[in-house]
Structure 1
Amino acid sequence: MLRLRPYRKSDAEYIVTWIKDEVTFRKWSAYRFDSYPITGEDVNKLYDNYALLYDFIPMTAFDDDKPSGHLFMRFTDSDKKELRFGFVIVDNAKRGMGYGKELLTLSLQYAFELLMAQKVTLGVFENNRPAYCCYRSVGFKDTGERENYHILQEDWKCLELEISR
């Protein structure tokens, strides 16, 4: 059973081990980091910067006191009614076992019940079908919006998803 807690800087050392190749890395982070691979220090540096720019809430899911999943939330409006999830990831050894769905369910509960958000959004690359299906399984709906990215010498479409309270 997963539990959710605030992110700790030490979690970054786990998170970076879950990313085994550059394609997975870019599906997770798009262009937010300059190069692959990254270190836990790179994650923490980015998060320190995000904390200065956004109302930023990084969270870690854990079982048996070991991180198993991670995402961050940030408010996108001044009224704090809309949250955006980002950097959603599960330990690669636990993918396909329901951990992603549980991470999202806990995070949505936190967003709607504790943070009182009215809507949660996220983006997922079209070429990340397992993540897309996971998001849909917890109730996210495709908005029809698309954004194009040029990643690894390819054009990737990012699909916009949302779920309302």
Structure 2
Amino acid sequence: MIQLRTFQPEDAEKIISWVDSPLVFYQWCAGFLGTYPITAENLRQYYEKEGTDADYHVLTAFHEQGIFAHLTMRFLKEEPGTARIGFLILDTNLRGQGYGKKLMQEILKLAFSYDHIKQVTLGVFENNPRVKACYTACGFQEEKEKEPKTYPCMGEDWPFYDMKLSRTDWEKGCFS
């Protein structure tokens, strides 16, 4: 059984252990958390500074074997009714086993438990097709009306796609 809870500072060591290369680091955070390699202290300090906003939730996912994923969820002031998922990372040893989809189902239950949330958005780099496929399988669609972004990562400009899932589509139940 997957559960979500508030990030605890002691989670940082485990979370950064999943960031095993510069590629994984930049796909995870686009450099917003600094430069590779990240330390547990860097992660804790970032959340101490950023995590004071009541609309910013730093979460850790766990099951019977312990923590296995991490993410943030923000309620966007600039887009009322929108929850934005970010910094989503899964334990390296669990990738490709269906945990991402199960985790996303729990995240969506949490996000849509807030009555004011009408859509959930997230982003994914073009060079991360497995993760994009997982998001698509969970019902997310590319936001065609938004101009594609790029982020400078590892000496290149990486294309980045915004994706969204509306409450209406989620409530149809075909993604659970």
TM-score category by the smaller chain?
Answer: over 0.9
- Residues 112-158 of structure 1 show CA distances to partners (whole Å, capped at 9, x for unaligned) of 01464111111100001111011111111101231011211112000
Deviation for aligned residue 1:52: 3.4
2:51–2:58 CA contact under 8 A, matched in 1 = no
State how far apart, in whole Å, the 1-side matches of 2:32 and 2:115 are.
26
Amino acid at match of 1:160: D
Amino acid at match of 1:82: T
State how far apart, in whole Å, the 1-side matches of 2:26 and 2:67 are.
21
Structure 2 partner of 1:91:
91
Structure 2 partner of 1:43:
43
TM-score, with structure 1 as normaliser: 0.93
1:110 aligns with 2:114: no
Which moved further from structure 2: 9-18 or 108-117?
Answer: 108-117
Amino acid at match of 2:150: N
Structure 1 partner of 2:174:
none
Structure 2 partner of 1:138:
138
Deviation for aligned residue 1:46: 0.8
State how far apart, in whole Å, the 1-side matches of 2:108 and 2:53 are.
23
State how far apart, in whole Å, the 2-side matches of 1:115 and 1:102 are.
22
% identical aligned pairs = 36
- How many residues align? The count is 165
- 1:163 is aligned, of 162, 165, 169, to 165
State how far apart, in whole Å, the 2-side matches of 1:23 and 1:40 are.
18
Displaced runs of 4+ in structure 1, greater than 4 A?
A: none
Between structures 1 and 2, the one with greater strand share = 1
State how far apart, in whole Å, the 2-side matches of 1:32 and 1:78 are.
19
- Residues 34-55 of structure 1 show CA distances to partners (whole Å, capped at 9, x for unaligned) of 3211111111111112123572
Amino acid at match of 1:153: G
Please tell me the root mean square deviation across aligned C-alpha atoms, in Å.
Answer: 1.7
Structure 1 partner of 2:60:
60
Structure 1 partner of 2:15:
15
Structure 1: runs of 5 or more not aligned: none
Secondary structure at the residue paired with 2:132? helix
State how far apart, in whole Å, the 1-side matches of 2:62 and 2:116 are.
23
Amino acid at match of 2:128: N
State how far apart, in whole Å, the 1-side matches of 2:103 and 2:42 are.
23
1:89–1:100 CA contact under 8 A, matched in 2 = no
TM-score, with structure 2 as normaliser: 0.87
Which moved further from structure 2: 60-69 or 9-18?
Answer: 60-69
